[in-house]
Amino acid sequence: MSYFTFHLIFIIPPILLLVWLQRKPFANIGGNRAQLAIPLIALMALVYTTPWDNYLVFREIWGYGSGRVIGTIGYVPIEEYLFFILQPILTGLWLSFLLRHNQPVQNESFSGWLRIVMFMLGAVLSIAGFWMLQWDNTLYLGLILAWATPILSLQWLIGTNILWGMKRIWLNAVIVPTLYLWVTDRIAIGNGIWYISEKYSTGFKLFGLPIEEATFFLVTNLLVVQGILLFLLIKTPNIKLKESQVSPTTT
């Protein structure tokens, strides 16, 4: 299986399904910003991830199978750049699908201690990430944490009240695409589309998936979901979405 075929089988079909289910993403939230949310987050993901991922391939922390890609730009396969865009679209559309059954209502009171706890959690993870860069076997995990958690910390600092006010949707929006991408990533590694260096990884695996890859998809989906929610809601801090009993299987 080639990397492009992987996209055709696992990534593009759920995107098309979500597009078919909702013609106007975020139609009930964000006003004029709704149409910009997913394209903007996808563009930011492409710009922010490109130099980092090029460094990973340059250091041979991960690589791709021979004959599995169309070509490369820099060190990174063209299909990887496409994935930088497709993942935010997939996760963003899933978030929109969850939000379509909810209506804005007045926000509840919010205790500032949770904001401090979340920010400190992000700061600790950031420090841990930079600390891990000292050793080969924690290099990949360290680079993931050092790259992602400073942005997560900032999101938590400015938007914990919004995120906590709609925590069920927030969690569902992150967990479902993360689990799905864990499965597809495990399939891709098993088929030799890409591989993870044993030298630069801890060796710990979650159902056969390197813990570094599991962490990557978790933090990137957090970045996408939180980025979209804050983009749509940060200017209206007195509003949150009323959470109906939305579950990942809601239609």
Token look-up 């925590």 returns 167
In a domain, 87, yes or no: yes
CA distance 61 to 138: 11
In a domain, 242, yes or no: no
- Nearby residues of 26 by Cβ (< 8 Å), 6 or more positions away: 34, 35, 37, 96, 99, 228, 232
Give the tens place of pLDDT for each residue, 29-83: 877 788 899 999 999 999 999 999 999 999 999 999 999 999 999 999 999 999 9
Q: What angle do CA 240, 245, 251 make, to 5 degrees?
A: 105
**Single-letter amino acid code for the residue at 221:** N
**Domain range spanning residue 62?**
3-237
Give the tens place of pLDDT for each residue, 169-182: 999 999 999 999 99
Q: Which two tokens stand for residue 184?
A: 């597809």
Give the tens place of pLDDT for each residue, 96-106: 999 887 654 44
Other residues' Cβ atoms within 10 Å of the Cβ of residue 112: 9
Number of folded domains in the chain? 1
In a domain, 247, yes or no: no
In a domain, 208, yes or no: yes
Give the tens place of pLDDT for each residue, 215-230: 999 999 999 999 999 9
CA distance 173 to 114: 20
In a domain, 243, yes or no: no
In a domain, 58, yes or no: yes
Assess whether pLDDT exceeds 80 at residue 119. Answer: yes
**Res 235: pLDDT:** 66
Q: pTM value?
A: 0.90
